[in-house]
Structure 1
Amino acid sequence: MKSTPVLTAAAAGSAGRRPRRRTAVPVAAAAAALAGLLLAGCGGQNAAKPPTSAEQPQPAGAPAAAGGAPTAKAPAGGNSAPPADGSQSGTGGGAGGAALARSEPQKITIPSLNVSSSLETLAQNADGTMQTPKDPALAGWYEPGPTPGSQGPAVIAGHVTWNGASAVFEKLKTMKGGDTIKVTRRDGKTVTFTVDRVAEYPKAEFPTLEVYKNLDHAGLRLVTCGGSFDPAKHYYDSNVVVFARMTGAA
């Protein structure tokens, strides 16, 4: 059965349906989409919808928006919302030095998993849902967000299985803190990320802000499906997320 990492603002409600794949259109609100995506069903086609105003991340110390706080809890130290083009301001320090200028990623390599994949570019569909990789052997970078190496949380997604066969991120959940990830960019630079942690979340408890909130450094999130698979619904009940940060560039 197909399995896809899916981003949607209706995490549980769409679990039993298989929405149609739609044609991508230009993203007018990339920042909103990046800041508040919720990951949901991995079976069938997938989704990435901008949050409502009540789901937008708040600057550190700011009160929640009218209508209540987001269900996902942001860790202390969150930053202000990103600019409208999905890029991040500032130079973002950290162990890897200053964040780089924006440049599209071309390839991801994960030595501990023996994974090496060129990257598809993932945009948004006409209904606001995020595209997923067309080729189960390839991972895909979410284009409205930061590029790997630039300041903020770059997102790369991949399938865990496809029609019962292994896909590119099948072993993602076995990664551990300290593992490295390398991303080669269009500008010729190869950025090294070091894994901070790996976590698995039930769909309905996905910590949106923790994954998508602004950062003061160049971060990377790898996303796929996890948990139990329901063959009748073509649906995994969880998501696996790898949290990493830039530790070098050459």
Structure 2
Amino acid sequence: MKPAPALHTTAPSTPRRHRRTAGPLAAAALAALLLAGCGGQNAAKPPASEQLQGGAPAAAGAPAPTGKAPAAGDPASPADGSQSGTGTGAGGPALARSEPQKITIPSLNVSSSLETLRQNPDGTMQTPKDPALAGWYEPGPTPGSQGPAVIAGHVTWNGASAVFEKLKTMKGGDTIKVTRRDGKTVTFTVERVTEYPKAEFPTLEVYKNLDHAGLRLVTCGGSFDPKKHYYDSNVVVFARMTGAA
């Protein structure tokens, strides 16, 4: 089945040079984490009013993303993980940046190589070209480096099952393993699984700076509108690094 032509997800053949970015919240504002195609349909994306914009108003009392780097002395890491190794947690210190190659979710019987997701011209995050594969959001941290790494996948594709179809069934305590280019396999343990209406997507919570290596798995959920080819919610799995080998 022909994939959506707007996606460009070929991973680079060699590791990219490390670079400093403005931080996870700036990445959120730029990426606008919208899986407009997470239902896998080859259709026009929903009207702008229905999209989750990364710069959408935060929840009451929460600061809106500023796009500024953390202030001096702030333990938060930049989005590219260039301060990795300073964060700590149950899994030990965060690792240096290294691109992920494969994700394995034993409880779902999922094993997928990873596409590289960047940004579309309109600022939305690309979605995987192959519905059988998940994709890592390249402007953010790599899994295992300090900060919230993001891996996204389709839930269905033109009515057929896709890689993250069962993501919403994950539970706290489930494990996720990510194999990286440097040969390390990082283990993450799920803390919680939550579904959000796209209009209320918690941008700050998903992308906020962390003092450890975190992972967010994202797909679509909720009700599907067959006329618009559009799911009205997102499912997010929040996980934390608990080991590396």
Q: What is the TM-score normalised by the length of structure 1?
A: 0.75
The alpha-carbon distance between structure 1 residues 220 and 45, as it changes in their structure 2 partners (threshold 3 A), is farther
Q: Deviations over 1:147-184 (max 9, x none)?
A: 00000000000000001000000000000000000000
1:51 maps to amino acid:
G
* Match of residue 243, structure 1, among 215, 238, 244: 238
* Match of residue 161, structure 1, among 134, 150, 156: 156
- Within 2, Cα distance between the matches of 1:23 and 1:106? 17
Counterpart contact for 1:3–1:235, Cα < 8 Å: no
Structure 1 segment 4-43 matched on structure 2, within 5 A: 21=6, 31=23, 33-36=26-29, 37-39=32-34, 41=36, 42-43=38-39
The alpha-carbon distance between structure 1 residues 93 and 82, as it changes in their structure 2 partners (threshold 3 A), is closer
* Match of residue 187, structure 2, among 189, 192, 197: 192
* Match of residue 146, structure 1, among 138, 141, 152: 141
1:101 matched to which residue of 2? 96
The alpha-carbon distance between structure 1 residues 119 and 190, as it changes in their structure 2 partners (threshold 3 A), is same
Structure 1 segment 170-181 matched on structure 2, within 5 A: 170-181=165-176
The alpha-carbon distance between structure 1 residues 88 and 150, as it changes in their structure 2 partners (threshold 3 A), is same
The alpha-carbon distance between structure 1 residues 22 and 33, as it changes in their structure 2 partners (threshold 3 A), is farther
Counterpart contact for 2:187–2:244, Cα < 8 Å: yes
Tell me the C-alpha RMSD between the 2 structures: 3.3
1:51 matched to which residue of 2? 55
1:234 matched to which residue of 2? 229
1:165 maps to amino acid:
A
Q: Is 1:121–2:116 an aligned residue pair?
A: yes
Counterpart contact for 1:30–1:145, Cα < 8 Å: no
2:55 maps to amino acid:
P
The alpha-carbon distance between structure 1 residues 29 and 23, as it changes in their structure 2 partners (threshold 3 A), is farther
Offset at 1:22? Answer: 6.4
Q: Deviations over 1:45-88 (max 9, x none)?
A: 66886638x87xxxxx9x94xxxx47xxxxxxxx77753x6335
Q: Deviations over 1:97-129 (max 9, x none)?
A: 000000000000000000000000011122322
1:175 maps to amino acid:
M
The alpha-carbon distance between structure 1 residues 126 and 48, as it changes in their structure 2 partners (threshold 3 A), is farther
Structure 1 segment 59-138 matched on structure 2, within 5 A: 64=63, 69=64, 82-83=77-78, 86-87=80-81, 89=83, 91-138=86-133
The alpha-carbon distance between structure 1 residues 114 and 29, as it changes in their structure 2 partners (threshold 3 A), is same
SS at match of 2:130: coil
- Within 1, Cα distance between the matches of 2:3 and 2:225? 10
- Within 2, Cα distance between the matches of 1:155 and 1:123? 11
2:27 maps to amino acid:
L
2:13 matched to which residue of 1? none
The alpha-carbon distance between structure 1 residues 30 and 236, as it changes in their structure 2 partners (threshold 3 A), is farther
- Within 1, Cα distance between the matches of 2:44 and 2:151? 17
Offset at 1:131? Answer: 1.1
